[in-house]
Structure 1
Amino acid sequence: MVKLRLRRRGRRNRPFYDIVAVDSRAPRDGAYLERIGYYDPLTTPSTIVINPERALYWLNVGARPTHTVRLLLSYEGILLRRRLEKAGRSPEEIERMVAEHKERVRQRYFRLKERRQQRKLRRSSAQESPAEA
């Protein structure tokens, strides 16, 4: 069985991942059939570069993505594109919907980042208030 999964590269404390099509029995960093993209989790926001044609090819021939790769494919709109193609939508409509999806994902990222910062500020101010009293 072919899987789409991450192959770790980089160095200690500086991970960098290739997104690869690989035989499911192969080791994590072993030989692979094809590299379809890469993922850098340490940039802000994370860098995800995937060749959509090759990803769709592997999905259509039965490759199973791991949970993490499935999330990355979803963020990039590749799973949405596949679903719309199967539904028979026009290429222009597919491109428009994928662009909207990517913008929603980007907005969600920044909205959650803002919430985390606000929560952090509330916690720090809550810790300072009892100390003053």
Structure 2
Amino acid sequence: MVTIRMARKGAKRRPFYNIVVTEHANPRDGSFIERVGFYNPVATGNEEAVRLDMDRVQHWLDNGAKASESVDRLIRKQAKAAS
């Protein structure tokens, strides 16, 4: 099963997450099929907190991928901001 989820990067106490499409069985920070965006929870000032390639996200969702709860929340937030 293909899933869209976050893979943690960044330093200790400075998390940064890549939003990736991967097989469900792969480890959290393991290999992935495609990177479709990022999430920076500690963004300050003019830094971008979330960036998603909504065309690719929609492509994967249309082809049966399931988004994790956290990523689903970010997708809905991004879609609402684009409207």
TM-score (normalised: structure 2): 0.91
Range with bigger deviation, 37-46 or 54-63: 37-46
1:102 Cα deviation after fit: 1.4
Unaligned residue ranges in structure 1 (runs of 5+): 78-100, 105-133
CA deviation map 1:36-68 (0-9, x unaligned): 000000014871100011000000001000000
SS at match of 2:70: helix
Greater relative contact order, per chain length (Cα 8 Å cut-off, separation 6+): 2
Q: Quote the sequence identity (%).
A: 35
CA deviation map 1:7-51 (0-9, x unaligned): 000010000000000000000000000000000000148711000
Distance 1:56 1:11 in 2: 30
Distance 1:4 1:16 in 2: 16
Distance 2:40 2:8 in 1: 10
SS at match of 2:29: coil
Matched, 1:50 2:29: no
Matched, 1:30 2:30: yes
Letter in 2 for 1:43: A
Cα 1:103–1:31 change in 2 (3 A) is closer
Which structure is larger by alpha-carbon Rg, 1 or 2? 1
Q: Which structure carries more strand by proportion?
A: 2
Distance 2:60 2:72 in 1: 13
The aligned residue for residue 102 of structure 1 is: 81
TM-score (normalised: structure 1): 0.57
The aligned residue for residue 8 of structure 2 is: 8
The aligned residue for residue 120 of structure 1 is: none
